[in-house]
Amino acid sequence: MTLRSINPATNELVAKYPEATDGEVDRTLDAAERAAAAWKRTQIPARTELMHSAASTLRGQVEDMARLMVVEMGKPIVQARAEVEKCAWVCDYYAEHAAEFLASELVDTDASRSYVAYRPLGAVLAVMPWNFPFWQVLRFAAPAMMAGNSGVLKHASNVTGCALAIERLFRESGFPPDLFRVLPISSTRVGNVIRDPRIKAVTLTGSEPAGSAVAEAAGAAIKKSVLELGGSDPYVILEDAELRSAVETCVTSRLINSGQSCIAAKRFVVVEAVLEEFQERFVETLRSKRVGDPMDEHTDVGPLARVDLRDELSDQVERSIVSGARVLEGGRPREGPGAYYEPTVLVDVGPDTPAYSEELFGPVAAIIRARDETDAIRIANDSSFGLGAAVFTQDRARGEQIARDELEAGACFVNAFVKSDPRLPFGGVKMSGYGRELAIFGIREFVNIKTVYVQ
């Protein structure tokens, strides 16, 4: 099989990559296992120096890496540059904090000395998606490698060029050549890799079906797994929200990465007292955003990553309309070449509407009416997902209480759009997955939390 990269803005073939043979997979896993065995004996100061080097390499290659993302999955160029910079940030963050996060912790017991140590597991498999082709990988790799593990990447087939660029990044930064390796294989072969005894754990960012398959394979092999899956993030707009800034924030969140983000705002749950004004302002703001060539510095919304993804989104919108939703703006694929879909606003979205319950992975906003605050919180939580959520109110204390105690999600923001940050844990509840990435929690996911007791 050949892996193909197609420019979603033009439908032109970018590159073909041969899929790894069984023998190549075997040799890659052997190399990753050997690299992990040597790397775990490398002291943290040496790891730190190399991870800072990776950050510097990223910053020195921003333009090349950003343009590769644009070509392979259509990300607007300004956002692509920001993604590379964020990857450098996460490398520096773990370089600076790994020693603190991994330091042994003394525990007072009846032993002469007892403590908790954090030791690496070995080779960790990462199954990663195309939507943030550098960030999703680096937010796994930086903590996992600083903890003393090696990394094996099975990336989405349409961003194989990005995967190979990340492999080169670590080699050019001075890391051992086999400490981070790419497996260019199809998704049907992932289960066999997970079951291989040389792989000690697995992390996946992706869809709910993909997460279920990976969890099943990891569970059968009794291996640790971390899953960051889909989201249908609700943004609750209360009666006292400052609508001008709230709408700008909501539109920005809905259109990030052309709407292709697990933590992009998906459902806007608005109390009816301000519903009409919110809808008017939302449509007006949405119309001000520019759709076009992702290489253009002024483009806000580029194409979706693949034509089949655009068609799937179009089907969800059409089924939502049949189920009673009404289109205020957009509502169809854009004419011409490329996988473009018009920025869209759906209203009158009820519980039987696909836009109410399904994840819309593209520039489509579902606005849902709520009677009052209590009803809005109920609707926000009426979802199988629980990745991110936000609430907008001028009563910050009340907003904080809603975010902390009432919204069912792994990340809840007040008067701001949900985003990931190396300093804060990231992950979801319910069907959005389990485990955490980033912060101290992320580096401790793939370690042996070991008790040491000395009499």
- Nearest one of 407, 436, 397 to 234, comparing CA atoms: 407
Chain-centroid distance of CA 157 in Å reads 17
pLDDT above 70 as % of the chain:
100
Average pLDDT rounded to a whole number, residues 84-95: 98
Average pLDDT rounded to a whole number, residues 248-256: 98
Average pLDDT rounded to a whole number, residues 253-258: 98
In this prediction, residue 140 carries a pLDDT of 98
In this prediction, residue 43 carries a pLDDT of 97
d(CA 155, CA 231): 20
Average pLDDT rounded to a whole number, residues 136-143: 98
Q: Is 91 a catalytic residue?
A: no
In this prediction, residue 188 carries a pLDDT of 96
Radius of gyration of the chain (CA): 22
In this prediction, residue 1 carries a pLDDT of 82
The helix/strand/coil state of 45 is helix
In this prediction, residue 46 carries a pLDDT of 98
pLDDT tens digits for range 201-213: 999 999 999 999 9
Burial 295-305 (b: 16+ CB within 10 A, else e): beeebbbbbbb
Whole-number average pLDDT of the chain: 98
pLDDT tens digits for range 272-304: 999 999 999 999 999 999 999 999 999 999 999
Burial 196-233 (b: 16+ CB within 10 A, else e): bebbbbbbbbbebebbebbbebbeebebbbbbbbbbbb
Q: What are phi and psi of 228, to 5 degrees?
A: -115, 110
Q: State which amino acid sits at residue 206.
A: G
What's the token pair of residue 119? 């030791």
Question: Does residue 216 have a pLDDT over 90?
Answer: yes
pLDDT tens digits for range 327-383: 999 999 999 999 999 999 999 999 999 999 999 999 999 999 999 999 999 999 999
pTM (predicted TM-score): 0.97
Strand partners, 370: 271
Strand segments, DSSP code E, in 33-174 are 105-106, 113-120, 123-127, 150-154
In this prediction, residue 308 carries a pLDDT of 97
pLDDT band at 11 (very low <50, low <70, confident <90, very high): very high
CB 261 within 8 A of CB 302: no
pLDDT tens digits for range 19-74: 999 999 999 999 999 999 999 999 999 999 999 999 999 999 999 999 999 999 99
Q: Which one of the listed residues 228, 342, 408, 445 is annotated catalytic?
A: 228
Q: Which one of the listed residues 87, 262, 329, 373 is annotated catalytic?
A: 262
Domains of the chain in sequence order: 2-229+429-454 (3.40.605.10), 233-414 (3.40.309.10)
- Nearest one of 75, 454, 18, 430 to 261, comparing CA atoms: 75
